[in-house]
Amino acid sequence: MRVVLTGGGTGGHIYPALAVGKELKAVHPGTELLYIGGRRGMESKIVPQHGIAFRELDITGFRRSLSWENVRTVVRFWKGVRSARAMLQQFKPDAVVGTGGYVCGPVVYAAARLGIPTLIHEQNVVPGLTNKFLSRYVDAAAVSFQDSLPFFRKVSDSVYAGNPCATAVIGADARKGFASLGLAPDTPFVLTVGGSGGARALNEAAIGMVPSIPKLPGVHFVFVTGERFHEETLSRIGRLGSEAADRVHVLPYVHNMPEVLAAASLVVSRAGASLIAEFTSVGMPSILVPSPNVTNNHQEPNARSLAEAGAAVMILEKDLTGEALFGHVHAIMKDRARREAMAAAARKLGMPDAARTIVGQLERIVRRK
């Protein structure tokens, strides 16, 4: 097969596309991939590192307030459609897969107009502007959350597939996770992580928890701060002089997150779609603090979906304090039965075969064309 992948701006759009590409190559070893991304997006750096041919568009997203910049964005969109059309005609793909982000718009729209089979994947409960627009033109849509399906009623082939990023953590070796942290196997620990760049609000709450950690004897705490917050967080925790200092581990970044996640007892995190996919695929209890600073506040519905299923506890950032967070951590870590129930609820939501499901859906629409 010859397939174009597109999506970008953030890792939440890029990594699902790469996961689908990897699965395509596993199922169809002769698959040729082309990734069309934005000149300014993270994909321009990430995709070539995965050995996939990359072409770029000069495209920007809409501002949600009235702005003359939106007029320029419309002009760039139609220029992007023309450029994408030329790239597609040159590559001659059997199908195009879009995973969201503004660059996805002109590429998938151009493909639909050329009669090329098209599929979009939506990571969040509430679709972004691009996928809402594209849902009128595509042949298929796959969603990460069951609650998203009503948004794609007009798409003839829409399925609840899960997030293909989930496959990255399946089979991860927990022993390697413990070893990388310098912990003995089966040591209970709480992992707090704010995404690849870190989250100041989570770091502040983590610092606020430190004085209470002696109330949970034997439990270790791993704070992944993000590079930019590491020195400050480490210094402030050091000044607290906790008697449980040997059970507090402050790291700037974790390069083997699947293995560390497999070893953890409980995760405190933002509610990005890819992270949630990983948590549910391994049955990980979580405390989710959705970021209020993302487009369309999409993390709150993500977190609420897990909380209502009993797989997570949601704390809004306005209610987040060290004391409040530790209260939830303490209650979950002291109650094994509750932790196991949360894990079971998370597993029910997990879709470890998401990438395979999406590839199967792609095969269907190609055959129909």
- The binding site for UDP-N-acetyl-alpha-D-glucosamine comprises 10-12, 124, 196, 299
Query: For residue 254, what are the contacts with CB-CB under 8 A and spacing of at least 6?
Result: 180, 193, 224, 260
Degrees to nearest 5, angle at CA 347 with 341 and 348: 90
Contact 191, 332 (CB under 8 A): no
Strand partners, 185: none
Cβ burial 53-85 (10 Å sphere, 16+ → b, else e) = ebbbbebbbeeeeeeeeeeebeebbeebbebbb
Strand partners, 35: 5, 54
Please give the full DSSP string across 99-118, using - where no structure is assigned.
--STTHHHHHHHHHHTT--E
Phi-psi region of 242 (alpha: psi -120 to 50; beta: other; left: phi over 0): beta
Residues making up the annotated binding site are 10-12, 124, 196, 299
Residue type, 97: V
Across the beta sheet with 2-6, the strand order is 53-57, 32-38, 2-6, 95-98, 118-122, 140-143, 157-160
Tokens of 49: 């590192």
